[in-house]
Amino acid sequence: MGFWLAIIPRIKLYAIGAVVFIAALLKLRHDTVSKALFQMQADQAEKRIDAMRAAKRIEDEIEILDDSGLADRASRWLREGNGK
């Protein structure tokens, strides 16, 4: 009986150590997954920003070709053509 009374505190200590070790591994995994998710969100945001910039450039190019701008360029082109 005395043997078991001496070994039970050691078993408790090992069990506590194992629980702490498992908790540390879970925390490490959680941190890694969180970092990966944050990086994916940052990449998606960057892609959205790039797409918005490209759409704005296209919109600006289309706006340049509006009726008044097109008429001005056409009249200049036609005037150059008449003088030749």
Residue 73: its H or E element: helix 67-83
pLDDT at 35: 97
pLDDT at 5: 76
Q: Which two tokens stand for residue 63?
A: 């706006």
pLDDT at 20: 97
Q: Which residue has the tokens 């910039």?
A: 53
Q: What is the number of other CB atoms lying within 10 angstroms of the CB of residue 74? A: 10
pLDDT at 81: 60
Residue 6 has pLDDT above 90, yes or no: no
* Average pLDDT, rounded, for the chain: 87
Residue 83 has pLDDT above 60, yes or no: no
Q: What backbone phi and psi angles, to 5 degrees, belong to 65?
A: -90, 20
Which residues have a Cβ under 8 Å from the Cβ of 4 and sit 6 or more positions away?
A: none
Tens of pLDDT, residue by residue over 8-32, are 889 999 999 999 999 999 999 999 9
Q: Which two tokens stand for residue 48?
A: 């959205």
